[in-house]
Amino acid sequence: MGGYSKFIVLGLLIISMTIGMFSSLYSFQEVSQRITAHTTLSAWSLAQLELEYQKLSTELQLYRAGKSDGDKLSLAYDLAWNRMDVFLHGEESAAVRSQFGAEALIQKVFLLLQQHESLIENLPSPDSPELAAWEQQLLTLQPDIRQLMIQNFTGPGATRGMDSIEATVKHISWVLAVVALLSLLMSYLLFRESRQHWFLSLHDPLTTLTNRAHFLTLLKERCYQASVKRQVLSLCILDIQRFNEVNDLFGYQNGDALLQGFGRILRLRFGKTALIGRTGGSEFALLIPQHEVTTLLPDVLKEFDSLLREYDPAHRVYLCCGVSTYPEQCSTDGELYQFAEQALSAAKKNSPNHYQVFNTCMLSDFQRRRELATHLRAELQVPDSAKLFMCYQPVHSVQPSEKVGMEALLRWRHPLFGFVAPPEIIEIAEEHGLGDALGDWIFRRVFKDLGSLPFWQIERISVAVNLSESMFTLNLPTKLNQFLRNSPILHEQLILELTETIALHDFATSQQIMRALQKDNIRIALDDFGTGFSSLAYLKDLSVDKLKIDKSFIQQIDLDPRQLYLVRHITELAHDLGLTVVAEGVETAVELDIVAGIGVEEIQGYHYSRPLELPHLISYLAKHFHPETPS
Ligand code: C2E
Ligand code: CA
Ligand code: CA
């Protein structure tokens, strides 16, 4: 049942239950009121009438026996007269009058009274025969009046009242039964719904395997139990490499079927012993209470391979696994997961369909990175740090120009671990949530460094800063405006370099950020072009100004004609889109001649200069520009 229809059904159930309840209550109240009113009225009027009639008869007997005087008799006569008059002509008694021949009988009795009116006015002596005859007549009619009373209480009218009470009770019972049934149905629907929600909150809807969040919770529990029972646990993370290509080439339906198929394989092989989860888009995890997971993995890889024949005939996709063990290699569930992920990264670097067990080498690498992260956090508190600093590599125009560009490159000379490669610093920062802080530190440091350049150099340079993933957010333009306020360079002298991976991660947001930056006259260069997604199709939709062709295309461009062919075509296409092309990694004069011949506008590489520390940059620029040369 769809989301809306469920609410409609529930709404209708509640409305019909409410209507049923109220209508039953209303009809019950009406019937009982009607019956009570009728019973009260008829009982009262007839009882009064019989009473007065009997009193009259008794008074007549007493008078005749000489035990009462005439006044009492005439009072009883008047009261009986009134009672009958009211009964015969009153509106309230109309209903009682109309049944069981009540009107005719009382009319008869009333006539009897009327006939003896003169007798009451001139009351004869007690032994008068007229009085005896009248007494006899009154006594004769008395049983009829009694009978009328009985009929009124027990006759069909009264039974009809009882019947309608009974009918109403029956009606209410039905309604209540329906209400109870509807309540049961509603409770069942709510129960089913909440059970579904509960299941979906813990499982992946596609494979019905445990989802990432729930898997991590269970992993924590199982690790705790294992530590108490002194058991060994093996965690295996399996990632389907290049899975997106199945989606792209054969459609999402095939992609989904492949994931479901793989989920089935895992369930069949490990369902009884292992905890199985889908922990990412193409990532699965197995937690097995034993050592021997590695003996089982080759079979899984084989089965997966046959599954692939169905969904990926071209065999682009393959499986990689990383394995770690608790408590041998680690002391917490978090570490167990981290180590399996690290082993997985190593497996990815090896041949396809490979598994890698976390080893001591990886452990020492992990410890080193953890230590580096702690030191980096401390270093980021020091804006003038001598260990963490920026180098600047010149970028020259092919055409003679009085302007020089430069790329700011991060350096870390660690007292213990020596030189730490910039990509590793960035990786560690991103992994440990320091990406943002590092980004801020870099911008502050670059603008501070530029502040020490002579003003005639500042006017003639532009500087490119590399962005890491966590820096490329919607608040980047605002942040940069703040930094640039205290910087010696103008907005148009700043270039931001970002890779395709970062730019295409969230295309719509990237477009938004880039448009805002372009509005502020900050330029954007797409870095390492050719190593990632490398599609020129999306470039027209992004506000990019420059394209930096990766150095791997430039190196040996003089020896490999295919490199030359690629660089030429990339350059032509970029020019068609109005972009400036920069060749990175130009090391020799031959390479320079070739890329210049192709039409590349800017050159960066060891041929001109290696990245320079600030004092060397100042000397380099001083050699290039003479203070008097007009800019
Ligand atoms: P990148 O952005 O592509 O930077 C260019 C890299 O190529 C630099 O390496 C540079 O030293 C090197 N290079 C320049 N010319 C030549 C050449 O002729 N031959 C050779 N073999 N290499 C050359 P570096 O400084 O080691 O940086 C490596 C990567 O680290 C950078 O690649 C960039 O992705 C990243 N990185 C460096 N500094 C920063 C930074 O401040 N922020 C961010 N987010 N990333 C940075
Ligand atoms: Ca760069
Ligand atoms: Ca680059």
**What is the 459 CA–ligand 1 centroid distance (Å)?**
25
Architecture of the domain whose range is 210-358: 2-Layer Sandwich (3.30)
Domain ranges of the chain: 3-165, 210-358, 369-624
- Distance (Å) from CA 326 to ligand 2 centroid: 40
* Res. 384: pLDDT tops 70: yes
State whether the beta carbon of 409 lies less than 6 angstroms from ligand 1: yes
Common-topology check for domains 3-165 and 369-624? no
The top-scoring range by mean pLDDT among 29-43, 143-157, 163-177, 425-439 is 425-439
Pick among 3.40.50.620, 3.50.50.60, 3.30.470.10, 3.20.20.450: CATH of 369-624? 3.20.20.450
Q: Taking residues 351-371, report their average pLDDT.
A: 89
Specify whether the CB–CB gap between 207 and 265 falls below 8 A: no
423 pocket-lining for ligand 1 (C-beta < 6 Å)? yes
Work out whether strand 388-397 and strand 612-613 pair parallel, antiparallel, or are unpaired: antiparallel
pLDDT over 80 at 196, yes or no? yes
The finding on whether 591 has its CB within 6 A of some atom of ligand 1 is no
User: Which secondary structure element, helix H or strand E, spans residue 383, and what is its range?
Assistant: none
Give me the phi and psi of 284, to 5 degrees please: -125, 155
Q: Are 583 and 615 in contact (CB under 8 A)?
A: no
Are 514 and 524 in contact by the 8 Å Cβ rule? The answer is: yes
Exposed e or buried b per residue across 249-281, where buried means at least 16 C-beta atoms within 10 angstroms of its C-beta? ebeeeebebbbebbbebbeebbeeebbbbbbee
Which has the higher per-residue pLDDT, 150 or 277? 277
Residue 37's pLDDT band (cuts 50, 70, 90): low
96-108 average pLDDT score: 84
546, β-bridge pairs: 525, 580
pLDDT band with cut points at 50, 70 and 90 for residue 631: very low
pLDDT at res. 627: 59
pLDDT at 249: 79
Centroid of ligand 3 to alpha carbon of 543 (angstroms): 18
Res. 157 pLDDT band, cuts 50 70 90: low
Q: What is the pLDDT of residues 551-575, one digit of tens each?
A: 999 998 999 999 999 999 999 999 9
Q: Which residue has the higher pLDDT, 314 or 544?
A: 544
pLDDT tops 90 at residue 624: no
Which residues surround the ion ligand 3 when the cut-off is CB under 5 Å?
Answer: 527-528, 584
* Reported confidence tier of residue 622, pLDDT bands at 50, 70, 90: very high
Q: Where are the alpha helices (DSSP H) in 462-611?
A: 476-485, 500-505, 507-519, 551-554, 561-576, 589-598
| pLDDT recorded at residue 155 | 63
Question: What CATH class has 3-165?
Answer: mainly alpha
Q: Which pLDDT does position 277 carry in this prediction?
A: 97
For residue 366 the two structure tokens come to: 């992990």
**What pLDDT was estimated at residue 413?**
97
pLDDT at site 534: 61
Mutate to test the pocket of ligand 1, among 407, 444, 465, 466 (most ligand atoms within 8 A of CB): 466
Tell me the pTM: 0.66
Average pLDDT across the chain, whole number? 88
Whether 40 has a pLDDT exceeding 80, the answer reads: no
